[in-house]
Amino acid sequence: MKILPTDHNLSLVDAMMAEMEPYLLSGEVFWPLESRPPRGGLAFPRLTLGGLLLTLDQLEAVQGEISTAQVADLRRQNMRMDQLRFKHAVALENKAAREAGSRLNLWRAYIGDLEEMPGRAGNYAYEVRHRVMLTRLETFGAEHVDFLKAVSAAKSVDRRLRRVFKQEAFIWDERLQQTYPPQQYWYLYGQPRMKT
């Protein structure tokens, strides 16, 4: 995964946080943002907790490279997140559990496709984000029974991946390596072998 420009990521987090409360209280897992990116900027994805966490991870990874004002903005967003955790802990847990199931299904489908068509291994660095999000969602859903079921099912999918996995260097932007250590995120340290 390539780290996106800091201004984009800060704008995205701001847009996500502005709509977080109605999102949490809705039945949607993938929420279309009403906010639009600044003119000429990259399009905003749908709001998900996993997407928010990965965007915050990118910002934390470049914290030493960004301006004082941007660091202050990041701290402000983290404080907003802490307030939301306090105010909507149960809604966050429920939403995380639902998203974990969706991420698991997307990850399982990709691994199934990979088993049938090994040529799809070229998409791995993009598709693995679903597995990373599933792990990161533990931040909110660790105790929820549906989240625990998704984690258990992910272990089965992981075993299928390990059969074709070739351990190598970290596959995402190296600045993210500290955020995703190999013990927990082993699937970011290599790729599936492509059959020829």
**Could you tell me if residue 140 is inside a domain?**
yes
pLDDT value of residue 141 = 80
Q: Is residue 1 part of a domain?
A: no
Give the model's pLDDT for residue 195.
Answer: 65
Answer yes or no: do 59 and 143 share one domain: no
Same domain membership, residue 118 and residue 56: no
76-86 pLDDT, tens per residue?
Answer: 999 999 999 99
Q: Is there a single domain that holds both residue 67 and residue 43?
A: yes
- Predicted confidence at residue 37, as pLDDT, reads 87
Q: Which domain holds residue 11?
A: 6-88
Neighbours of 79 (CB within 10 A): 10
The answer to whether residues 66 and 154 touch, using CB atoms and an 8 Å cutoff, is: no
* Residue 185, in any domain of the structure: yes
Q: Which of 70, 88, 106 is the last residue of a domain?
A: 88
Low-confidence spans in the chain with pLDDT less than 70 = 195-196
Residue 146 resides in a domain: yes
Residues 63 and 105 in one domain: no
148-171: pLDDT as tens digits: 999 999 999 999 999 999 999 999
Domain end (from 73, 88, 103): 88
- Statement to judge: residues 16 and 105 lie in one domain: no
Tokens standing for residue 126: 């993009």
Same domain, 156 and 99: yes
User: What is the domain count for the chain?
Assistant: 2
Residues 134 and 56 in one domain: no
User: Could you tell me the pTM of the whole model?
Assistant: 0.94
Tokens representing residue 39 in the block: 């003119």
pLDDT at residue 143 in the model = 85
In the 8-state DSSP scheme, what is residue 121? G
Q: Which of 88, 107, 138 is the last residue of a domain?
A: 88
Of all helices (H) and strands (E), which one includes residue 60? helix 49-61
d(CA 155, CA 152): 5
CB 109 within 8 A of CB 153: no
66 & 124 share domain: no
95-106 b/e (C-beta count within 10 Å ≥ 16 → b): bbbbbbbbbbeb
